[in-house]
């Protein structure tokens, strides 16, 4: 299958290669994964799976939208058995593109809470990242903070760093707020939030955290696992920046802090379905879930798995238990709303 991944991206090439490989694939113990997760954040687990089961994992990594487009174009000739991506909105797009088949597994349903898996059994969450508020303890009293909607208050004028509206993590946050508070209220909030930007949105989540550390802004919204990687970074400047910032868990008296999932589904035209199911179940094992917490600074989707020391330092918090499906269903409305509000 490694040969397949190097072929030109055309249906003709895919069909030709797959025809030549079918006799091998029929007998080989293998599973093929398209993943928008960076290789370093998933391959160690895949290697453990291969060592444990003897099933070879062929991994292709890339941009989520590009991989989804590839899956759609390849159709029945795809080599992919699994599609793994890092946001509920991206998973919803895959469902809409009809590239998944249903996964029937009592074992999966037993260990993954219902709101962290697709209502129609097309995908299942693997790990969680929260999207709280980060603040400078030198310039912000945490008693001034409350929930996401309070970020539109005038006290935060020119004091907030956040990524652009093109960022899927922000879109999912807004999609959740729409479900809780209604589109009109959230659009008014988004207009106020834009007024409070310390700068035009630029960079990734780490850049927003650095903005707080370096005094560009006083508060930021970002995903926790980026913060975890910064705190444990070999880059002295990055680690120092993270140490100047603290986490505030918003909405603890109401819906809870926004969380999102990385998730996985078996492709519609998968040829190694049994192996694909085995890999999903392995990724949901206590061993794998503990690795997510310790190596990736993500929260386990499986309950009862110990958090890493880094995660424990930020304290326990109430999570928003909204269905991850809703984040995808409300995505288009969230994007339109953000654009109307001037969030670029």
The token pair that represents 110 in the structure block: 């037993």
Phi/psi-derived region of residue 251, left when phi > 0, alpha when psi is between -120 and 50, beta in every other case: left
Which residues, in sequence order, are CB contacts of 217 under 8 Å at separation 6+? Answer: 159, 160, 161, 198, 199, 208, 211
Contacts of 230 (CB under 8 A, 6+ apart): 206, 209, 238, 239, 241, 242
Classify 158 as helix, strand or coil.
Answer: coil
**3-state class of 36 per DSSP?**
coil
Please give the distance of CA 256 from its chain centroid, rounded to a whole number: 18
Q: What backbone phi and psi angles, to 5 degrees, belong to 45? A: -70, -40
**Sheet with strand 299-300: strands edge to edge:** 56-61, 30-35, 82-85, 259-266, 124-130, 299-300
Tell me, rounded to whole angstroms, the distance of Cα 1 from its chain centroid: 27
Which of 250, 221, 217 minimizes the C-alpha distance to 162? 221
Burial of 262 (0-12, 13-18, 19+ CB in 10 A): buried
Residue 225, annotated as binding a ligand: yes
Q: What is the distance of C-alpha 115 from the center of its chain?
A: 15
CA 323 to CA 188: how far, in whole Å?
24
DSSP 172-226: HHHHHHHHHH-HHHHHHHHHHHHHTBSS---S-HHHHHHHHHTTS-SEEE--HHH
Q: Which residues have a Cβ under 8 Å from the Cβ of 40 and sit 6 or more positions away? A: none
Tell whether residue 297 is among the known ligand binding residues.
no
Query: Which uninterrupted H or E stretch holds 2?
Result: helix 2-5
> How many CA atoms does the CB half-sphere of 54 hold within 13 Å?
2
Q: Which residues are annotated as a binding site for Fe cation?
A: 225-226
Q: Which residues are annotated as a binding site?
A: 225-226
């Amino acid at each position: 299958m490694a040969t397949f991944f190097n072929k030109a991206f055309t249906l003709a090439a895919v069909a030709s290669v797959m025809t030549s490989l079918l006799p091998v694939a029929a007998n080989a113990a293998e599973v093929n994964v398209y993943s928008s997760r960076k290789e370093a954040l998933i391959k160690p687990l895949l290697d453990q799976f291969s060592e444990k089961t003897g099933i070879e994992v062929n991994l292709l990594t890339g941009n989520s939208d590009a991989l989804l487009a590839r899956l759609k174009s390849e159709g029945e000739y795809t080599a992919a058995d699994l599609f793994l991506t890092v946001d509920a909105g991206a998973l919803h797009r895959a469902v809409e593109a009809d590239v998944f088949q249903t996964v029937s597994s009592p074992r999966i349903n037993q260990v993954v809470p219902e709101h962290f898996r697709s209502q129609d059994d097309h995908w299942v969450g693997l790990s969680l990242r929260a999207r709280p508020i980060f603040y400078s303890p030198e310039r912000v009293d945490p008693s001034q903070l409350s929930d996401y909607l309070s970020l539109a208050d005038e006290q935060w004028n020119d004091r907030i760093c956040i990524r652009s509206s093109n960022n899927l993590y922000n879109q999912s946050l807004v999609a959740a707020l729409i479900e809780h508070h209604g589109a009109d209220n959230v659009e008014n909030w988004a207009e106020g939030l834009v007024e409070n930007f310390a700068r035009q949105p630029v960079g990734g989540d780490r850049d927003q955290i650095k903005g707080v550390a370096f005094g560009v802004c006083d508060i930021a919204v970002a995903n926790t696992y980026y913060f975890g990687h910064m705190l444990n970074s070999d880059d002295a400047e990055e680690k120092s920046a993270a140490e100047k910032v603290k986490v505030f868990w918003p909405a603890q008296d109401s819906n809870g802090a926004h969380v999102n999932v990385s998730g996985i589904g078996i492709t519609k035209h998968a040829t190694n379905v049994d192996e694909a199911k085995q890999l999903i179940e392995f990724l949901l094992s206590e061993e794998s879930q503990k690795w997510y917490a310790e190596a990736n600074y993500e929260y386990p989707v499986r309950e009862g798995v110990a958090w890493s020391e880094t995660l424990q330092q930020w304290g326990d918090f109430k999570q928003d238990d909204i269905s991850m499906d809703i984040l995808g269903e409300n995505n288009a409305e969230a994007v339109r709303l953000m654009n109307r509000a001037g969030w670029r």
